[in-house]
């Protein structure tokens, strides 16, 4: 049997489905904290793989030439694996499976704890000969709801110094980020400017009498380019990782000294444009932080195929679709991506989502005075919403710089609702005085 240097990773997700990772080996290695334990490794050509228990490294002297598919992965693999240790040969056995899980983590430049569950932490700590109870300790403080969640390995004062030093020497980090600035609105809403590696993002903590909601960002900037949104003017820089999304929730919880009860994915970025990290973060918020699935809302302007994919996840979350117009022409003027995702297809996919999940879809409608508040739009909304499980949430536009749009008056909002002829809700504006309301998040990363 032929043996090759470059491999096809196969792994199991939380639902037990096996995924191939041929096309994104590097990303798989970098995002391993969002994965469940490795199932097996095999050559893309069906040959055997040589590996070590401490590092996933291929012997460059193995017989046979790589296939064309493997050659295409050469640059990706070189970026993902340390080149100085190539050459070790150890055949993979079932007994080595636990070590292999951490082998992938060991090859990351930055090994992040945030996002791991107790089972994954047990597997990692087993390679350090640490007792299993350490993983439970780590989970409890990593995701603490008491406002004192773990920020640094130095804070693990109850752990042996030698264990902490070994973790640090291997590049293990908690995954918490620095708050560069905190602003507080007159209504008590908090906005946090957070540094994620070399970029800045914003998230918002929205307190009320019985809850604390966090509005999280999923990307640095946004590619959707909606004309009425400040974040859309930034363009897209990159996706956030799972730990960077979770860190926002824990940051708000720690700084505001209140347990987070609700999360809305309505900050910077398009969550469905960062699908894998968004779904992994949702599951971690539920299982690790303890936020109920029904208290998590994921918003999307609509990306072809994503809503149907989300329906298959069978999550009890709320799906909020940023509609903003009920006619195709008007929606294209406000949401450029609508040209690639016609309104009728978006609505059909939403109806399919309802049929599969039995969960109501919420339509978000940013109301702009004199733009999308016409009788024609109201009639189209009435027709669009009739006869199925959906709800309309009207958001009076929050002003941003460099636009000619105008915020509607209360009378204009009431008149539009009356024309629609359906039961709707109007979102209460929070934090507008400090530019932390819906559509106002923007940072300069230049």
So what's the pLDDT on residue 445?
66
- Supply the pLDDT for residue 353: 97
Of 15-19, 161-165, 405-409, give the lowest mean pLDDT range.
Answer: 15-19
Section 122-139 average pLDDT: 90
Q: Which CATH architecture has domain 112-173?
A: Orthogonal Bundle (1.10)
Q: What is the dihedral of CA 380, 385, 390, 391, to 10 degrees?
A: 50
Q: What superfamily does domain 181-434 belong to in CATH?
A: Aldolase class I (3.20.20.70)
- Per-residue confidence at 379, pLDDT binned at 50, 70, 90? very high
Within the chain, which residue ranges are assigned CATH 3.20.20.70? 181-434
Q: Mean pLDDT, to the nearest integer, of 169-188? A: 92
Residues belonging to the chain = 446
How far apart, in whole angstroms, are the C-alpha atoms of residue 390 and residue 392?
Answer: 7
377 is catalytic: no
Task: State residue 401's pLDDT score.
Answer: 86
97 catalytically annotated: no
Query: Of 32-46, 176-190, 410-424, which range is least confident?
Result: 32-46
Enumerate residues 6+ apart whose C-beta is below 8 A from 13: 19, 35, 36
pLDDT in tens, 304-343: 999 999 999 999 999 999 999 999 999 999 999 999 999 9
Residues of the chain with CATH 1.10.150.530: 112-173
Predicted TM-score of the model (pTM): 0.76
| Strand (E) or helix (H) holding 103 | helix 97-106
Residue 444 has pLDDT above 50, yes or no: yes
Catalytically annotated residue among 57, 70, 202, 364: 202
The partner residues of 43 in beta bridges, in order of sequence, read 7
User: Percent of the chain beyond pLDDT 70?
Assistant: 75
Residue 441's pLDDT band (cuts 50, 70, 90): confident
Sign, CA dihedral 285-288-289-290, equals positive
Q: In 10 A of CB 84, how many CB atoms?
A: 7
Q: How far apart, in whole angstroms, are the C-alpha atoms of residue 154 and residue 167?
A: 11
Question: In this predicted model, which residue has the larger pLDDT, 94 or 380?
Answer: 380
Residue 405, pLDDT above cutoff 60: yes
Distance CA 261, CA 265 (A): 14
Which entry of 226, 366, 390, 438 is annotated as an active-site residue?
438
The mean-pLDDT minimum among 94-108, 149-163, 260-274 falls in 94-108
What's the confidence (pLDDT) of residue 436? 85
Summarised one tens digit per residue, pLDDT across range 254-268 is: 999 999 999 999 999
Contacts of the segment 89-96: beta carbons below 8 A, 24+ positions apart: 89/50, 89/51, 89/52, 89/59, 90/50, 90/51, 90/52, 90/53, 91/48, 91/50, 91/51, 92/40, 92/41, 92/49, 92/51, 96/53
């Amino acid at each position: 049997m032929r043996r090759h240097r470059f491999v096809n990773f196969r792994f199991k997700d939380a639902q037990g489905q096996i995924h191939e990772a041929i096309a994104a080996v590097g990303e798989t290695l970098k995002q391993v904290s969002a994965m469940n334990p490795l199932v097996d490794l095999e050559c893309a050509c069906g040959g055997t793989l040589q590996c070590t228990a401490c590092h996933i490294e291929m012997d460059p002297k193995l017989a046979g030439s790589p296939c064309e598919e493997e050659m295409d992965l050469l640059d990706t693999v070189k970026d993902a694996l340390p080149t100085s240790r190539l050459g070790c040969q150890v055949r993979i056995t079932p007994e080595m499976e636990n070590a292999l899980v951490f082998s992938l983590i060991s090859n990351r430049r930055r090994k992040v704890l945030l996002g791991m569950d107790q089972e994954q932490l047990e597997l990692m700590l087993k390679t350090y000969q640490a007792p299993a109870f350490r993983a439970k300790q780590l989970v409890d403080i990593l995701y603490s709801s008491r406002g004192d969640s773990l920020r640094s390995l130095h804070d693990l004062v109850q752990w042996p110094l030698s264990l902490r030093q070994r973790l640090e020497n291997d590049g293990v980090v908690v995954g918490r980020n620095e708050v560069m600035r905190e602003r507080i609105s007159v209504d008590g809403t908090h906005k946090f400017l957070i540094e994620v590696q070399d970029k800045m993002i914003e998230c918002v903590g929205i307190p009320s009498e019985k809850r604390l909601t966090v509005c999280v960002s999923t990307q640095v900037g946004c590619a959707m380019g909606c004309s009425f949104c400040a974040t859309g003017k930034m363009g897209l820089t990159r996706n956030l990782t799972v730990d960077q999304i979770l860190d926002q929730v824990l940051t708000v919880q720690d700084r505001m000294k209140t347990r987070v009860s609700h999360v809305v994915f309505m900050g910077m970025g398009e969550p469905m444009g960062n699908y894998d990290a968004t779904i992994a973060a949702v599951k971690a918020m539920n299982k690790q932080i303890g936020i109920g699935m029904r208290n998590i809302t994921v918003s999307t302007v609509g990306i072809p195929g994503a809503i149907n994919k989300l329906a298959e996840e069978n999550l009890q979350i709320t799906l909020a679709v940023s509609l903003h117009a009920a006619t195709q022409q008007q929606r294209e003027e406000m949401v450029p991506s609508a040209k690639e995702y016609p309104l009728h297809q978006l609505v059909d996919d939403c109806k399919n989502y309802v049929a599969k999940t039995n969960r109501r879809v919420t339509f978000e409608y940013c109301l702009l005075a004199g733009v999308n508040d016409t009788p024609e739009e109201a009639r189209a909304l009435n027709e669009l919403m009739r006869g199925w499980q959906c709800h309309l949430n009207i958001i009076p536009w929050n002003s941003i710089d460099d636009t000619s749009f105008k915020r509607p008056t209360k009378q204009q909002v009431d008149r539009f609702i009356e024309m629609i002829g359906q039961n709707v809700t109007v979102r209460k504006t929070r934090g507008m005085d400090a530019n932390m309301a819906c559509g106002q998040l923007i940072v300069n990363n230049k």
